[in-house]
Structure 1
Amino acid sequence: MAVRSSFFNSVNGDRRYLANNFAEYFASFISNGIFPTPSNTLQVYEKTNMTVTVKPGKGWINGYFAVNEYDYDLTLDNADGVLNRIDRIVLRLDFNARAINITVKKGTFASTPVAPTLQRDADAHELALADVYVAKGATTIRQSNITDQRLNNALCGIVHGTVSQVDTTTIFNQYSAWFSETTGKTESEINQWQLTVKAEFDEWFVSIQNILDGDVAANLAARITTLEQQLATHQAEYAQFKTAIEKEVAELQNANELSVVKSVKDSEGIFKTVTYKRKSDNTIFAKSVLSGGTSPQYTTRTLTFYNADGITVKATKIYTLSYDADGDLVSEV
């Protein structure tokens, strides 16, 4: 018939209706999808090993109603050893079986897999509840491997009445893109951090391995004592060297054997560099350089001594300069 109408009371059996007539009627003003309450209606969760669980909830497909009363477990096929795949958990209306079931559509193995296409024809109509990423060699499905597709209108969506379906696809896609980018970046940063920390730990452990052998406490105590003795020796040597250098400078100055050359004059009229040269051959004996802070209150003076060639550095001493409230130099240590 070109024009059909329903529903009317039957007179002597002249009005008889089938289930698909009622489904067509309800589908005209109730959209496909899952019912929004509770919020985890038909949501897919990890369970153990390769098993996932679909939470209780209700769904609606082309005028037909489905209810999942309890947690519904689905076990995915084992992962491949070389390639990945994406399985899709679907709510499937099967017209031939006259039933709506929750099933797994197994994906195709690939290095960069895609989820299986939903079937939507005269034989069946499917809604995607979630996509599950099955990585190569995986033995367990984690929640991070499960992409919730319930709010994606193109794949599932929320049941609405006479009002058109609210389009949540855009916001869902934005969230998915952000989530993928963020988790990928974070995973990469964590992996790099782990490699760096491991390398530093291995280097440190090799350096102390001999110390930790045997009596750990005794070895550590002996090591600390050795370091303290070495430090004391170096401090004593440095003090002697500093005294000798200062004595040498004083003797040279007193003997009038050094000439003084000032350079790098700042806006306050202070020469930042003072060079001491041997008069005998004009080679550099020492150089004093002011730095840090602002003129005229520089905070650092670096004094460098040179060997007889005037080029090779013999020693370097860095002094910290301190000033009082009037800006006068009060200490140089």
Structure 2
Amino acid sequence: MLYARMLKVTFLFFLVGLGLSSASAEVISDSVLIEGHYRSFHYNNVSVASVKRPGLIFVLHGSGGNGQGQIKSAAKMEQQANAENMLVVYPDGYKRYWNECRKASPAEANVENVNEQAFFEGMIQYFEKRYNVDRSHVFAVGTSGGGHMAYKLALTMPRTFRAITAIIANLPDTTNMDCTPSGKAVPVMIVNGTLDKTNPYEGGVVVLGKNMTMGAVRSTDRTLAYWADLARYKGKPTQENLPDTDPTDGKTIERYTYKEKGKPEIVLLKVIGGKHDYPNDIDVHVEALRFFMRQIGR
């Protein structure tokens, strides 16, 4: 059923030069044809030259964004990812949104029920063909709506994605869930702020911009518990206070970890005082990379 609606993937190739702040790098923009729609993505040409049989990390933008808009925020992660033999890819949502698991989303991607699983499978096939990627090392990190898309990949494609990280995103409430979970546990890291009014830490209705309602989400505690229960953890996670490297930002971070031999690692980074943004104390994408690399070593 997962790929039942996936038509034969064809490729449209074109190059777009993009100057980055740190180097005269070239970003390659390409697309795959999925059920009549050309779905686009971007990746750094400099990265390609430095990897051999790489893994893949998909960096997913938030609602209303695009893939190229994420390149700068993930620059440190990409530099380290290359050293870890990982290729970083920045896909574009359908008309700037994802068809994730929130039933109430008015985005065209959701209304038209675009086939996101086919899109990601198509991109993986693309990188297999061109760069001989290692399909056992495929990951996704997403912010806000991209975090919801990362959850969907973990819920519906757990054998494809080794692990995911969701930033400032909670799982949809049960009344707002329109994905059919596989029931298979995967490693998940969550990064959420306690003062986030867009993605309420304690759960509630998500409202974007001009009263664009995305329906209700679970609390962060319930979201963490969902993944921990799926991995069959009992009891409480271990807690660790991260160094407050920027005392001026009014934020501190607590790490909660479920980790046992033979079970997927489940982590929450609780950003005390965090809003719908990235904390200054850590680079969230670098933290995601570290989390992903730990899963390869397990």
TM-score (structure 2 length as normaliser): 0.23
Higher relative contact order (CA 8 A, sep 6+): 2
